[in-house]
Amino acid sequence: MARTVLVTGGNRGIGLAIAQAFAKQGDRVAVTHRSGEPPEGLFGVRCDVTDSASVDAAFTAIEAELGPVEVLVANAGITDDTLLLRMSEEQFTSVLDTNLTGAFRCAKRASGKMLRAKWGRMIFISSVVGLYGGPGQVNYAASKAGLVGVARSITRELGSRNITANVVAPGYVETDMTAGLPEDRRIEYRKAIPANRFAQPDEIAGVVTWLSGDAAGYVSGAVIPVDGGLGMGH
Ligand code: NDP
């Protein structure tokens, strides 16, 4: 059955691959974008997840065009890496505001309609770094670890209403976010990954579409690594 899906940050990178995978299987897909035009063939809504009014307006526009959001993929995220000693409070809180509070704003807005429908899927895009840690990533790791608590609390709150909430934790993926890594760091990271390569965005998308489908109806509160074995045991 076709569903209405919202992918935040679905205009590029992992989010775009996820949105395209849902569209390919016949779902009604909306993506958020902050500037420019949305990708061709996808319904775009302008939205900044750090602003509740903007999130509310985006959901209202999607509801009018495609119907209530049944599958939420909270994917929008940023990094602002620096060592702890140098990290300003603003650098810490702004990453939390986008990656963690942004996901909360979307989940909260989605939950009312999911409760009414007695069906919903929430998928939070975390990172291997959330549980593994990363030097220079105190802010990012905290935000990504926080998503685990969010998904598990939602599972306990809404699980009896046929609403699942899960976390997908990618390792290194070839996108704009990792494109700027210096070659020596890429080589060093690759050595630590049993698969000996970075992921392609559609390798994350396959897990997300599976989680939103009927076959995964009894999977909730899970943290699913998609990291080539990098974070095993964490
Ligand atoms: P990109 O940097 O390629 O894309 C980030 C996306 O998030 C963009 O669509 C961007 O929109 C959107 N975004 C950022 N801030 C906001 C905001 N305030 N409101 C709305 N949208 C926003 O990142 P990736 O595709 O690589 O990453 C996607 C997710 O996957 C992130 O949560 C990231 O942390 C996570 N991840 C990525 C990994 C990787 O190796 N690439 C590894 C593990 C996790 P805009 O185009 O407007 O800037």
Mean pLDDT by 10 residues, the chain (234 residues): 97 98 98 94 97 98 98 98 98 98 99 98 98 96 98 98 98 93 92 97 98 97 98 84
Domains, the chain, in order of start with CATH, read: 4-225 (3.40.50.720)
Q: Is 218 labeled as catalytic in the residue annotation?
A: no
Three-class SS state of 76: coil
- The pLDDT value given to residue 12: 96
What is the pLDDT at residue 191?
96
Please work out whether the CB of residue 44 comes within 6 Å of at least one atom of ligand 1: no
The predicted pLDDT at position 233 comes to 76
Ligand 1, atom 8, residue with closest C-alpha: 9
Q: Is 49 in the pocket of ligand 1 (CB under 6 A)?
A: yes
Instruction: Tell me if 171 sits within 8 A of 126, measured CB to CB.
Output: no
Buried b (16+ CB within 10 A) or exposed e, 136-145: ebbbbbbbbb
- Determine the residue of 34, 45, 72, 137 to mutate for testing ligand 1's pocket, defined as the one with the most ligand atoms within 8 A of the Cβ atom: 34
Instruction: For residues 122 and 141, give the distance between their C-alpha atoms in angstroms, rounded to a whole number.
Output: 20
3-state secondary structure of 217: coil
